[in-house]
Amino acid sequence: MPRLLVIVPDRISDILSKGEYQPCYYNPGQVFDEVHILTTTDDKPCLAELQKTVGDAKLQVHCLPDEPAFIGKWPEWFSRLRLRCWAKPGVELARRIQPALVRCHGADWNCFLASRIKAELGIPYVVSLHINPDVNPVRRYISSPLTAEKRRHNRFFNIIESDGLRGSDLVMPVYRPIIPYLERLGVKKFKVCYNVLNSIYLQKKISYDLHKPARIIYVGRLIPEKNPDNIIRAISQLPDTVLTIVGDGPIRKKLEQLALDLGVADRVRFRYSVLNDELCLLLAEQDIFAVHSDYFEISKSVLEALLTGLPVIINHRSGDAVPELEGDFVTKVDNTAEGYLGALSRLLSDHAFREELGKKALAHARTHWSPEVTEAKYTAIYSAFLERTNEF
């Protein structure tokens, strides 16, 4: 009975409460009959709610909380020693479970633990990486001046990431812009594997006839790097439209005030949290997807919109272009009210163009990112490790 050990740095209960998990998220293709999930927090999620993430597999959850007191306190050699001491209970857990493979989501304490399991027990591990830390730093101090304490903090997480990623049998970046970071780090074995999206509730858009009023949707965290303020300003000049903003974050109140100031609070609707199943159904009922992002990524929400067949408007990045978004299946604009207004006006007035863009988006997305395509890639990788072929 093949077993999988999944190690995550997340508080699983928080993700469950947001309804963001896809079916079989932790066991794509249901390759494994038994799945153990270990979180490096003290979280104790509801097993019944989590069961759908492993399909029909037997599920167990374990905790090994990280040790914040270790961060940045000692020289590099002593930090590694303390980290190995911290990892020992996790290694012993893996010794009891005897998984065929360890899977890490993200390169944090979980990834270092996987490297120790491999070093002591010889069990292979793979890591999915969801950001490029060189472009979107996490767990790092980046603003000047960097004190000695902050530099030690940064070096600590450099150890965790470098040891974890370099020791892995395969790193699976979830989009191509992560590759330069892996190459800089000296990681040799990697394969781009896009996120597996909601195969049950993602719906193909059937009609491109405009609703009255026209429905525009934004989905994403409400943070400065994804600020939709210029979309709201554009909407204020398009009277027969409604904008739905799905997401929450620190700039939400500022955006709500902007809608009030522009006199469009009745046409800009904020939905702070929507379960992913409901969101996928909601997308198919919209006319246009408009988003802003400064990140070097193709986000899950954009993939979902493309797979629905929605016409997508997104801003030009100030840095390198996102490779996955190059092509004629999306409309690119400057991140200005005028940029979004021009794109929205054309899509609202030109039915043929709106339908053509949506259908191009659907065709391109189905070829590259359909749940069937992405799940098959993970299934093939898992099967290769079980069969010890290394042909992935």
- Altogether, the residues listed in the chain come to a count of 392
pLDDT the model gives residue 74? 65
Alpha carbon distances (Å) from 111 to 9, 40, 242, 246, 297: 9, 10, 44, 32, 22
Q: Which residues of 160-197 are buried (b: 16+ CB within 10 A; e: fewer)?
A: bbbbbbebbbbbbbbbbbbbebbeebebeebebbbbbb
Q: Alpha carbon 91 to chain centroid distance? A: 28
Q: For 149-183, how does the pLDDT look when each residue is reduced to its tens digit (9 = 90+)?
A: 888 888 888 888 888 999 999 999 999 999 999 99
Phi/psi-derived region of residue 101, left when phi > 0, alpha when psi is between -120 and 50, beta in every other case:
beta
pTM of the model: 0.88
pLDDT the model gives residue 71? 80
The overall average pLDDT reported for the chain is 93
Stretch 129-148: mean pLDDT: 81
Q: What letter represents residue 29's amino acid?
A: G
Q: For 241-284, how does the pLDDT look when each residue is reduced to its tens digit (9 = 90+)?
A: 999 999 999 999 999 999 999 999 999 999 998 989 999 999 99
Structural tokens at position 354: 């709106």
- Which is more confident, 363 or 144? 363
pLDDT the model gives residue 390? 64
> Domains in the chain and their CATH numbers?
3-193 (3.40.50.2000), 214-369 (3.40.50.2000)
Q: For 31-90, how does the pLDDT look when each residue is reduced to its tens digit (9 = 90+)?
A: 999 999 999 999 999 999 999 999 999 999 999 999 887 787 767 667 788 889 999 999
Q: Convert 338-354 into a string of H (helix), E (strand) and C (coil).
A: HHHHHHHHHHHHCHHHH
pLDDT the model gives residue 238? 98
Q: Please say whether the beta carbons of 28 and 379 come within 8 A.
A: yes
